[in-house]
Structure 1
Amino acid sequence: MNPIADIESLDFEGHGVAHVGGKAIFIDGALPFEQVVYSSYRKKPTFENAQAISILRESFMRVKPRCQHFGVCGGCSMQHVDASAQVAIKQRVLEDNLSHIGRVKSQRILSPIHGPTWGYRHRARLSARHVAKKGTVLVGFHEKRSSFIADMQRCEILPARISALLLPLRALIMQLSIRERMPQVELAIGDKVDVLVFRIMEPLNGDDEALLRQFADQHGVQIWLQPKGPDTAYPFYPLDAPALTYSLPEFNVVMPYRPTEFTQVNPHINRVLVQRALDLLDPQPGERIADLFCGLGNFTLPIARRGATVLGMEGSEGLVQRARENARFNGLADRTEFRVANLFEVTPESFAALGSFDKLLIDPPRDGAMELCKSIDADNAPSRIVYVSCNPATLARDANVLVNTKGYTMKAAGVVNMFPHTAHVESIAWFEREALAD
């Protein structure tokens, strides 16, 4: 007989947390205030991972998942949670991390940034696999805790027109001579064009090329081919398609990009996030500001548009080159400079060599910006730092350094629901030098 548990809370990955016999049980598909029957799939001395088999008492947060593949597909983990409750849960995760990991408390909690919860995903990497036993090709996300690809007919977090391509894509790849050697289709949805990047591990033959052209014409997409790494991707058909771009209309900025380059998956939320970051940073004409981990200039160019001079730094040479091109494209080259730098290895000496900055914007990957935060000293400390984070644990760790070692005050922090229906927590925080605080 399977055990029963009362769910106390959610962990940072969206699992229900219970305690049974003194052991923590992390239960997929369970919500706070519920009583569930569960089955463990991983047992350790101090904890277990489990799956909810049935719900004996439902939470007020529970809703019916919209997607028919929820629970099998690993793309979403929280479709069973009311959308507003998802945001509240993420806010709690942020506050708990700041308190317990960072030993800091924000003076003000910002209202959450949230937007469309369906059809929001404009970037995705779909796996493709020919399954001989099923006589078909599967295209989609992986199943939960599995290397198998979910048998998906549609996807509710992709725009409807892209979701509608899943079955035609399966039929297309099934017809190709290299169906065993095409493991991935990457999606990049721009302002004026939808791009599909096919990862090809063998050359196409003439029949394959004809099928791809026919597919592109029929569905109104542009197809790129990627024979090796992301840098090898090139446009295949049609060659006269509009450029792939996203826009930040509030700042009169248009960003061209390659489909394999990093951009935010949710353009609606990205626009609001950039606006909030700029409101908090408050760049002024004549200020010198650094945008660290700048990517292709998502924040750099709006800062420059406000009149400040901006140094953008990024570890990827390709992205730095793209940022320079985007600055020229938007008429902002005279207010921007971009450099390639490994910001995970910054030292007090290398940071001081950059000169003084009035303000910093930091937007690191999940590993955070610990070495950078440690490199700020009293002689070169900017008056204000805005930190955009995709991992509340590393934000909290870095906030500890800024507040408890470097003399900053955390003025405000809040969550950004960039990835609805997942446990991913994006957030933003504003730090001010204590001596200059209001």
Structure 2
Amino acid sequence: MALQEGKIYPAHIESYASDGTGVARIDGMVVFVHGAVRGEEADVCIEHVGHNAAWAHIATLRAPSPARIEPDCPHYRQCGGCQFRHMTYEEELCAKRQRVEDALHRLGGLDLPVSAIYGAENTQGYRNKVQFPVSGDGIGYYRSRTHQVIDIPHCHLQPQVDSLCRQVVADWMNQYRIPPYQEKTGKGLVRHLYLRTNQAGEVLCCLIINGKKLPHAQELVEALKAAVPTLVGVVLSVNTRKTNVILGTEYHTLWGQDWLEETLCGHTFRLSVPSFFQINQPQTQVLYSRAVEFAGLTGTETVVDLYCGIGTISLTMAEHAANVIGVEVVPQAIEDAKENARRNGLADKTRFLCGDASQLALQLEQEGITPDVIVVDPPRKGLAPDVVDTIARMAPPRVVYVSCDPATLGRDLKRFAALGYVSQRAEAVDLFPRTAHVETVVLLSKLKVDHHIEIELKMDELDLTAAESKQPTMI
């Protein structure tokens, strides 16, 4: 019998979906239950029934989990920024570990456990970058699964100085009647407020506008300078396209500097507005330390770092390798990477190339570069098939895959497996506490065909029982 929308059913919460939603099975159908915790017994109200699954909310919680806690944010039920504030951090880590293992198994076809998940010491105020959407409803965050902006004075994921900058900009817009951007019509001026901070508490402020000029710009600069002593610069980004892409391609410095310095893994990096940099500095150091260990560097290796950004992983690897070649498609990021290598005394051990990862990987292959290790840290969409093919042709003994999306990671590991790479080890690092995102590091090794055949021949010579012959062979 099909589930009916609006009707209440008893449910047992078995596990979690990729976005942290509880998962139950009712009359043979998977039901995603908002705000549920694994192990709970509840009466749930069906909101929507699809072809293969249904969505519901808790009507009555009959047996709450010991891991359930009261959310500490008044906006949690409406805001789409966090997904795990209704459970303990320990339970959140369990859910994230399960998510990665499920993706490796279902999408990657791998029986590969996540041997460790590294939780954060600090789950509050850890974000070093925020991009506030601006609309007629205010400056804040999108309501879950919508583009409706919820005006939020302070977010627990952001440092206090971000809230201060947000309020200054909101007051300035009100005082001078600066029109906010209207996504549906494409009219209005201010689209986003972008803030970047560092461990020293310094702030770089950028306004993304739907126009070429910002009225009363000097008044905004003076208001920010007066309220935020640690402000280092105010930048304007021009984006007049009707698009969901936040940053424009044209930048103007209104005051101060258009970059911010940050220290990571003992290196100092210069960050411009469009430069990619992980948003949780302490946990990024954990992530990169795991990547270096997986790479197994001894000081003699050639490393290729695809999607290198401003060179954060490249410079970390260069400390332990003979040389590193970094590849990135964003021109400004490549310039930052070269400058970062120079400032950290690693210019002679690094080379940075600007262009598409698949094309430049092919170029390196044609140059005869034979890397010992290739590191990939792609965006959420993962690797293009031709990048996987080129990496396999270059045949590095080890590939270290740093992923921000378990689903595309699982898909890509399956592609690597078909080309002779074995996924040997996986660990997760939580860079995004209280949200559904999680980072994963996987070590892949090139299958040694000759060695594999030799082992098989030796086994054939032995008098094995049928049961023994099914034992997995370590390669």
- TM-score, scaled to structure 1: 0.89
Cα deviation for residue 75 of structure 1 reads 0.7
Cα deviation for residue 22 of structure 1 reads 2.7
- Structure 2: distance between partners of 1:382 and 1:291: 12
Cα deviation for residue 2 of structure 1 reads 4.1
- Structure 1: distance between partners of 2:84 and 2:438: 12
1:187 counterpart SS class: strand
1:183 counterpart SS class: strand
2:238 match: 227
Whether the 8 Å CA contact 2:327–2:360 is kept in 1: the answer is no
Residue identity matched to 1:65: P
1:420 match: 433
Give the alignment of 1:339-418 within 5 angstroms.
339-344=353-358, 351=365, 353=367, 355-369=369-383, 370-377=385-392, 380-402=394-416, 404-418=417-431
TM-superposition CA deviations, 1:395-424 (whole Å, max 9, x none): 12222233x333333332111111111111
Whether the 8 Å CA contact 1:113–1:273 is kept in 2: the answer is no
TM-superposition CA deviations, 1:94-140 (whole Å, max 9, x none): 11211222122337713425331111111111012234xxxxxx111
Residue identity matched to 1:33: G
2:143 match: 143
Residue 182 in 1 paired to residue 190 in 2?
yes
1:103 match: 109
Residue 298 in 1 paired to residue 312 in 2?
yes
Residue identity matched to 2:336: R
Cα deviation for residue 146 of structure 1 reads 2.1
2:464 match: none
- Structure 2: distance between partners of 1:152 and 1:161: 14
Structure ID, larger Rg: 2
Query: Are the structure 2 counterparts of residues 90 and 58 from structure 1 closer, same or farther at C-alpha, using a change threshold of 3 Å?
Result: same
1:156 counterpart SS class: coil
Give the alignment of 1:87-98 within 5 angstroms.
87-98=93-104
- Structure 2: distance between partners of 1:179 and 1:258: 27
- Structure 2: distance between partners of 1:421 and 1:65: 11
Residue 433 in 1 paired to residue 428 in 2?
no
Residue 197 in 1 paired to residue 206 in 2?
yes
TM-superposition CA deviations, 1:136-185 (whole Å, max 9, x none): xx111111122211131211010133234444442232113423321210
Aligned length: 425
Whether the 8 Å CA contact 2:258–2:273 is kept in 1: the answer is no
- Structure 2: distance between partners of 1:108 and 1:127: 35
2:272 counterpart SS class: coil
- Structure 1: distance between partners of 2:59 and 2:367: 58
Aligned Cα root-mean-square deviation (Å): 2.5
2:25 counterpart SS class: strand
Give identity over the alignment, percent: 26
State which drifts further: 142-151 or 339-348: 339-348
Cα deviation for residue 76 of structure 1 reads 0.7
TM-superposition CA deviations, 1:241-264 (whole Å, max 9, x none): 69501212x4x3111011232211
2:39 counterpart SS class: coil
What residue ranges of structure 2 are gaps of 5+ in the alignment? 1-5, 181-188, 240-246, 452-473
Whether the 8 Å CA contact 2:78–2:143 is kept in 1: the answer is yes
Cα deviation for residue 69 of structure 1 reads 0.7
Cα deviation for residue 54 of structure 1 reads 4.1
Whether the 8 Å CA contact 1:359–1:384 is kept in 2: the answer is yes
Relative contact order, CA 8 A, sep 6+: which one is greater? Answer: 1
1:45 match: 51
State which drifts further: 59-68 or 212-221: 212-221
- Structure 2: distance between partners of 1:242 and 1:23: 53
State which drifts further: 348-357 or 220-229: 348-357
Query: Are the structure 2 counterparts of residues 401 and 411 from structure 1 closer, same or farther at C-alpha, using a change threshold of 3 Å?
Result: same
1:262 counterpart SS class: coil
Whether the 8 Å CA contact 2:104–2:111 is kept in 1: the answer is yes
Residue 281 in 1 paired to residue 281 in 2?
no
TM-superposition CA deviations, 1:273-296 (whole Å, max 9, x none): 112211221323332110011111
1:179 counterpart SS class: coil
2:350 match: 336
2:462 match: none
Cα deviation for residue 307 of structure 1 reads 4.1
- Structure 2: distance between partners of 1:96 and 1:360: 25
Cα deviation for residue 329 of structure 1 reads 2.1
- Structure 1: distance between partners of 2:350 and 2:58: 53
Whether the 8 Å CA contact 1:34–1:57 is kept in 2: the answer is yes
Cα deviation for residue 386 of structure 1 reads 1.1
Residue identity matched to 1:139: I
2:312 counterpart SS class: coil
Whether the 8 Å CA contact 1:40–1:50 is kept in 2: the answer is yes
Query: Are the structure 2 counterparts of residues 352 and 391 from structure 1 closer, same or farther at C-alpha, using a change threshold of 3 Å?
Result: farther
State which drifts further: 63-72 or 20-29: 20-29
Whether the 8 Å CA contact 1:64–1:80 is kept in 2: the answer is yes
1:3 match: 8
Residue identity matched to 1:3: I
Cα deviation for residue 357 of structure 1 reads 0.6
Residue identity matched to 1:432: S
Residue identity matched to 1:160: Q
TM-superposition CA deviations, 1:41-82 (whole Å, max 9, x none): 433132222333442321122111111110111111111121
Residue identity matched to 1:375: T
1:236 match: 254
State which drifts further: 341-350 or 356-365: 341-350
State which drifts further: 263-272 or 224-233: 224-233
Residue identity matched to 1:141: Y
Cα deviation for residue 431 of structure 1 reads 1.8
- TM-score, scaled to structure 2: 0.82
Cα deviation for residue 318 of structure 1 reads 2.5
Residue identity matched to 1:197: C
